Chains A and B, each alone.
Chain A
Amino acid sequence: MNTDANDFAPQPRPSKKDRMKIPRQPMPEQDPARRRTNFEEVNQGLTILGAATEALRCLECGDPKCTHGCPVGVKVKDFVDLIAVGDFLGAAAKIREDNILPAITGRVCPQETQCEGCCILGNKFEPLGIGYLERFVADYERETGRIGLPAIAPPTGKKVAIVGSGPAGLSAAGDLVRMGHAVTVFEALHEIGGVLVYGIPEFRLPKAIVRHEVDAMRAMGVDFQTNVVIGRTATIDDLMAEEGYDAVFVATGAGLPKFLGAPGEHLNGVYSANEFLTRVNLMRADAFPESDEPVYDCRGRDVAVVGGGNTAMDAVRTACRLGARTSYLVYRRSEAEMPARAEELKHAKEEGVTVMALTNPVEFLGDADGFVNAMRCVRMELGEPDASGRRSPVVVPGSEFETSIQMAVIALGTSANPLVQSTTPDLATTRKGYIAADPETLRTSKRGVFAGGDIVTGGATVILAMGAGRKAAASIHEYLETGAWEAKEAEIPSPAGRG
């Protein structure tokens, strides 16, 4: 990005009528043929001129719906206004008041269903490119090296432990440290960021950006401890009784992979998406043997990724980049029902992914050495809508067929990792093993312990987890100030045996 502000002179604001004539500024992208051979970012970011032009499209609503659509309540109109007058650093500081990780959310949020989905421009035209603008100012700030760190309140003398360094934990840590509390974040892996470092690939979210955001939080005083598994290395009780933490926020995510339960699922070359993506993103198996961690060699081979969410898209696009000959995306419903973002599916198709919709694998077959070499699938059709309103897929009788593959990735979502719950006896859990927490205060059944993000809701989005982190921070702050912990029994689902 050209960060020379002299290149940019703010434009006089056109009339609202003229503003509506400005087309939405497109996101420059790396060419599909080139990008499927590398791990560099696909979206290249708006230019200064592109961002300033896009900012002019904002109609400056009296009651901006976009802010209501944002799970952390970013003051969109205010920051967009600062872009329009050329104060990019001011715009970044404005976002950081509500969102500690703008370079990340600007990239990975599903804006079309959140802020941009609420933008009134969208009624008649394309909505304002809020995500693109958020990303622009965060990148501008980083590249100019002038991060506007928020003010920190005087020390309160209270200690807060945060379990897990994913989006929920980071967002809570950012708010709590600003309120003057001493914050320590415990992470089981050797790098900070949770799904941001092991799950989301480099071509959607460069790891250098995550590190940069984490460094900014270190500069604010957050203490990060890697290689600590709460539930094994120390328990919640150890943290509170022996290590003197006044409150704990559990944000461990839903990291346990689901499998299909199909025969042959344990053949060599069949991965969970978590394993495949961790090997490539966190352990950099794409660079083997320069990096030590290997991953099954997909060069010139056919790879099937099972699932239709963003994780499936990340896995199938990663397989493309590792040199797969064919990358199949196998999904049991139709394209219209895919939970993945439309942009991800579009990118995947441009990169040559073959979509096998209305298809479900029923068995994996292997060669004499036990390596997967085919999958047997059935065709599906959509039946009546189920309780959730989605039409449920039904097997088409006699539709079995076989496809040759040499690697498979199962991306069917995750469930609750039980390590914290199983070692904290007085922490109530739901029937499915998630932590039971009051939806408003995020208080759990255990005094001083709060929980939020995927470990409460099940697998969701980065920004929803960040929203939970903000809510937890406000609630923890209130608890630390007042010391009050009235059990609202009725609001906390009662513990059920986890089986």
Chain B
Amino acid sequence: MFPIVEAEFLAPDVKRLVVEAPRVARKRKAGQFVILRLHDRGERIPLTIADSDPGRGTITIIVQGVGKTTKLLNMLGTGDAILDLVGPLGTPSHVERFGTVVVIGGGLGAAIAYPTAKAMKEAGNHVVAIVGARNKELVILEEEIAAISDELLIATDDGSYGRRGFVTDVLRDRMESGGPIDLVLAIGPPRMMQAVAETTRPRGIKTVVSLNSLMVDGTGMCGGCRVLTNAGARFACVDGPEFDAHEVDFETLVRRNRTYLKDEADSLRRFLEHPEAELEKVRESCRLEQRHPEARCEAGRS
């Protein structure tokens, strides 16, 4: 069981959770993620580790409520706990002194990109951060990113903050008018990452993306997260999640991520009818675990 020690909303539906997980906090490196499960009948979902504090034994995750499990997770607060949490998973970001590194975060991608941007800065790179959001209200971690970047460029779809347009518009401007770029790291929705890849490809700028394929175990045993690259099928959970953007087959990624769209919608609709009942399941699972830590609670088949 993994107690939540801090919880706050950063934007509508986007919550920052600080969770006690001492082993994960000790080992975690930028670019890695955890898989968690909220209750006995819950699913396993992957979430990037946004930060960690080994001294305090905590990790930070940032969650956008898009479906049942993430919306349920966003109902949890201080005093609640997460039943299962495993990590750190995935291969850490490759961090070294490249020179000028552009880190692009679209939407929640800003939270996922932040730890790697920070590590790039600490490795002595000139870090250019490009943050994209639909509108001003949805821009997250602005202060944190400003603190670890040399240039911070913001784009909103509606122009309510920063430049009006997409992150690729900002990137193109920066490529044309700024100094040379040695590496681009893009994290966000697959179509955004694909657009970034196509923007940098003609110039041959090395571009890395963090892929968000569906996962179950996160340890390489099932291949549910497989992505197609020029080198064949790769498992995002162990070989990634970061890959060379110019080698990724984004069409397959987008298509495979749509496998359970209908199930996901059904699950969300049922959840929204009785969200409190699901919250109670989380708390009951954790109470059982507390009372009988030796015996995992059992969810019988119905």
Contact B43 A266 (CB under 8 A): no
- Nearest CB on A from B59, distance (A): 12
Docked pose: A288 CA to B219 CA in angstroms: 23
A284/B86 in contact, CB under 8 A: no
Pairwise interchain contact B270-A188, C-beta atoms closer than 8 A: no
Q: How far is the CA of A275 from the CA of B218 in the complex (A)?
A: 11
> Which listed residue (B44, B300, B302) contacts A283, Cβ 8 A?
B44
Q: Using A190-B296, A294-B267 as known contacts, say yes or no to A232 and B221 having CB atoms under 8 A apart.
A: no
Q: Pick the contact of B220 from A227, A290, A417 — CB < 8 Å?
A: A417
**CB-nearest residue of chain B to A231:** B219
Residue in B216, B219, B301, B302 whose CB lies within 8 Å of A293: B216
Pairwise interchain contact B23-A202, C-beta atoms closer than 8 A: no
Contact residues of B between 223 and 272, Cβ < 8 Å to A: 223-224, 226, 228, 233, 238, 252, 255-256, 258-260, 263-264, 266-267, 270
Given A39-B301, A274-B223, A278-B221, answer yes or no on A292-B42 (Cβ-Cβ < 8 Å): yes
Q: Nearest Cβ distance between residue B221 and chain A, in whole angstroms?
A: 4
* Chain B residues numbered 263-299 whose CB sits less than 8 Å from any CB in chain A: 263-264, 266-267, 270, 294-296, 298-299
Contact yes or no, B84 A278, CB < 8 A: no
B97 interfacial by beta-carbon distance below 8 Å: no
A268 surroundings in chain B (CB, below 8 A)? 255-256, 258-259
Contact in complex: A294, B219 (CB < 8 Å)? no
Distance A256 CA – B238 CA, assembled complex (angstroms) = 11
B228 with A419: CB separation less than 8 A? no
> Which A residues between 176 and 229 are near B, CB-CB below 8 angstroms?
188-192, 202, 207-208, 211, 215, 218, 224, 226-229
**Would you call A283 and B216 a contact (CB within 8 A)?**
yes
CB distance from B219 to the nearest CB of A (A): 5
A298 vs B117: C-alpha distance in the bound complex, in angstroms?
44
Whether B43 pairs with A293 at a CB distance below 8 angstroms is yes
CB contact between A256 and one of B24, B87, B221, B258 (< 8 Å): that residue: B221
Q: Given A266-B252, A287-B302, A292-B69, is A257 in contact with B221 using a C-beta cutoff of 8 Å?
A: yes
Known: A234-B27, A257-B223, A286-B301. Is A294-B263 also a contact (CB below 8 A)? Answer: yes
Cβ–Cβ < 8 Å partners of B86 in chain A: 188-190, 227-229, 233
Q: Say yes or no for A360: interface residue by CB 8 A criterion.
A: no
Residues of A within 8 A of B219 (CB): 188, 229, 232, 255, 417, 419
Query: Please, which residues of chain A bring their CB within 8 A of the CB of B233?
Result: 259, 265-266
Cβ of A279 under 8 Å from chain B: yes
Output the least CB separation between B259 and chain A (Å).
Answer: 5
A190 touches B226 (CB 8 A): no
How many positions in chain B have a CB within 8 Å of any CB in the partner chain? 48
Residue of B nearest to A187 (CB): B86
Question: Which A residues from 282 to 334 make CB contacts under 8 A with B?
Answer: 283-284, 286-294, 296-297
What A residues does B44 contact at CB under 8 A? 190, 283, 293
Contact call A272/B223, Cβ cutoff below 8 A: yes
B85 CB within 8 Å of chain A: yes
Q: Which residues in B have their C-beta under 8 angstroms from that of A293?
A: 43-44, 216
- Residues of chain A within 8 A (CB-CB) of B224 are 271-272, 275
Tell me, in angstroms, the Cα distance from A227 to B34 when the chains sit together. 10
Query: How many residues in A have their beta carbons less than 8 Å from beta carbons of B?
Result: 52
A453 at the interface (CB under 8 A from B): no
User: Residue B105 at the A interface, CB < 8 A?
Assistant: no
A203 to chain B, nearest CB (A): 11
Taking CB atoms, residues of chain B closer than 8 Å to A269 are 259
Question: Contacts A208-B298, A227-B86 given: A289-B221 contact, CB under 8 Å?
Answer: no
Does the CB pair B259–A192 fall under 8 Å? no
What 0/1 pattern do residues 19 to 55 of A give for CB contact below 8 A with B? 0000000000000000000010000000000000000
**Quick check: B87 and A266 within 8 Å, CB to CB?**
no
Contact indicator A284/B23 (Cβ below 8 Å):
no
Q: A291 to B301, alpha carbons, bound, how many Å?
A: 9
Cβ contacts under 8 Å, B258 to chain A: 268, 369-370
Name which residue of chain B comes closest to A293, CB basis: B43
Asked if B126 is at the interface of the complex by the 8 Å CB criterion, the answer is no
**Is the pair B87, A232 in contact by a Cβ cutoff of 8 Å?**
yes
Q: Which of B223, B226, B252 has the most CB of A within 10 A?
A: B223
Given A188-B86, A255-B221, A279 and B267 contact (CB-CB distance below 8 Å):
no
Given contacts A289-B263, A292-B69, contact A259 B43 (CB under 8 A): no
Contact A202 B222 (CB under 8 A): no
**A167 vs chain B, min Cβ distance (A):** 16
What are the interface flags for B65-100 relative to A under an 8 Å C-beta threshold, 1 for contact and 0 otherwise? 000110000000000000111111100000000000
Closest chain B residue, CB of each to CB of A238: B27
Contact A191 B296 (CB under 8 A): yes
B37 within 8 A of A: yes
B222 touches A283 (CB 8 A): no
Assess the B301–A228 pair: CB atoms within 8 A.
no
- For residue B83, which residues in chain A have a CB less than 8 angstroms away from its CB? 190
A294 and B260 contacting across the interface, CB-CB below 8 Å: yes
Residues of B within 8 A of A370 (CB): 252, 255-256, 258
Give min CB distance, A68 to chain B, whole Å: 34
Check if B41 is an interface residue, CB within 8 A of chain A. Answer: yes
For A234, the closest partner residue in chain B by CB is B23
Q: Which residues of chain A come closer than 8 Å to B157, judged between CB atoms?
A: none
The minimal Cβ–Cβ distance linking A94 to chain B, given in whole angstroms, is 27
Question: Bound complex: CA of A190 vs CA of B302, how far in Å?
Answer: 20
- Listed A/B pairs (27) with beta-carbon separation below 8 Å: A39-B301, A190-B86, A211-B296, A215-B294, A226-B84, A226-B296, A227-B85, A229-B86, A232-B87, A233-B23, A255-B221, A256-B220, A265-B233, A266-B226, A272-B222, A278-B222, A283-B43, A283-B44, A288-B267, A289-B263, A291-B299, A292-B69, A294-B260, A294-B267, A370-B256, A370-B258, A417-B221
Top 4 A-B pairs, shortest CB-CB distance? A275-B222, A292-B43, A294-B263, A255-B221
